[in-house]
Chain A
Amino acid sequence: MKTILLSGCEAAAEGAIAAGCRFYAGYPITPQNRFPEYMSRRMPECGGVFLQAESELAAINMVFGAAVTGARALTSSSSPGISLMQEGISYLAGCELPAVVININRGGPGLGDVTPSQSDYFQSTRGGGHGDYRTIVLAPWSVQEIYDFTYSAFDLADRYRNPVLILSDGMVAQLLEPVKLKGKSKKTIAPQWALTGCRGRKPHSIKSLFLTPGVLETHNWKLARKYERIEKREVRWETYYTEKMDLLIVSFGVCARIAKEAVEQARKEGLRVGLFRPVTLWPFPYKQLESCMKQVSKVLVIELSLGQMIEDVRMVAGEKLRLFFYGRPGGGIPTPEEILKEVRKK
Chain B
Amino acid sequence: MKPVFTRPRSLTENVMIYCPGCGHGIIHRLVAELIDELAVREKTIGIAPVGCAVLAYDYWNFDVTEAAHGRAPAVATGIKRVLPDRFVFTYQGDGDLAAIGTAEIVHAAARGENISVVFVNNAVYGMTKGQMAPTTPLGWKTTTTPKGREPALHGYPIRVCELLSSLDGVCYLERVAADSVAGIMKVKKALRQSFLCQLENKGFSLVEVLAACPTNWKMNPAQAMKWIGEEMVKYFPPGIYKKTW
- A residues near B (Cβ < 8 Å) are 22-23, 25, 49, 51, 53-55, 57-59, 61-69, 71, 73, 87-88, 91, 95, 195-200, 203-209
Contact = CB atoms under 8 A, between A and B. Distances in A.
Given A206-B65, A207-B66, A197 B107 contact: no
Interface in B138-171: none
Nearest to A69: B82
B54 interface: yes
Contact of B75 (A64, A199, A209): A64
A316 to B, nearest CB: 36
Given A49-B82, A58-B103, A197 B77 contact: no
Given A196-B86, A197-B45, A198-B42, A203 B78 contact: no
A23 B78 contact: yes
A58 B45 contact: no
Interface string B5-45: 00000000000000000000000000000000000011111
Tier of interface size on chain B:
35 or more
Contact of B107 (A58, A73, A207): A58
B63 A65 contact: no
Contacts of B57: 205, 207
A203 B79 contact: no
B66 A95 contact: yes
* Most chain A beta-carbon neighbours within 10 Å: one of B41, B76, B82, B107: B82
Nearest to B79: A65
Contacts of A91: 66, 68
Interface in B195-232: none
Interface string B35-74: 0000001111100100000110110111111111001001
Interface of B: 41-45, 48, 54-55, 57-58, 60-68, 71, 74-83, 86-87, 103-104, 106-107
B51 to A, nearest CB: 12
Contacts of A209: 54-55, 66
Contacts of A23: 78, 81-82
Nearest to A62: B78
Contacts of A71: 82
* Most chain B beta-carbon neighbours within 10 Å: one of A23, A68, A206: A68
Given A54-B107, A195-B45, 19 more contacts: A57-B103, A61-B68, A61-B75, A62-B74, A64-B71, A64-B78, A65-B74, A68-B45, A69-B82, A69-B83, A88-B68, A88-B71, A197-B43, A197-B83, A198-B41, A203-B60, A205-B66, A206-B64, A207-B57
A200 B74 CA distance: 28
Contact of A68 (B43, B54, B75): B75
Interface of B is mostly: helix
A83 to B, nearest CB: 15
Contacts of B86: 196-197
B74 A68 contact: no
A53 B107 CA distance: 8
Contacts of B48: 207
* Most chain B beta-carbon neighbours within 10 Å: one of A59, A69, A88, A196: A69
Nearest to B76: A65
Contact of A203 (B55, B61, B75, B77): B61
Contacts of B75: 61-62, 64-65, 68
A57 B45 contact: no
A23 B74 CA distance: 14
Nearest to A63: B78
Nearest to A71: B82
A58 B82 contact: no
Which 4 residue pairs across A and B have the least CB separation, nearest first? A65-B78, A61-B74, A205-B57, A54-B107
B77 A62 contact: yes
Nearest to A94: B66
Nearest to B86: A197
A61 B50 CA distance: 14
* Most chain A beta-carbon neighbours within 10 Å: one of B43, B61, B64: B64
A53 B60 CA distance: 29
Nearest to A67: B78
Contacts of A65: 65, 74-82
Contact of B62 (A25, A57, A198, A200): A198
A206 B66 contact: yes
Contacts of B83: 69, 196-197
A66 to B, nearest CB: 4
B42 A51 contact: no
B104 A205 contact: no
29 contacts: A51-B78, A58-B74, A58-B77, A61-B67, A61-B74, A61-B78, A61-B104, A62-B77, A63-B78, A64-B67, A64-B78, A65-B74, A65-B75, A66-B81, A69-B79, A69-B82, A71-B82, A88-B68, A88-B71, A95-B66, A195-B63, A196-B63, A197-B43, A197-B63, A197-B83, A197-B86, A198-B42, A203-B63, A205-B63
Contact of A58 (B42, B43, B62, B71): B71
A37 B86 CA distance: 29
Contacts of A61: 67-68, 71, 74-75, 78, 104
B115 to A, nearest CB: 10
B65 A207 contact: yes
Contacts of B43: 197, 199
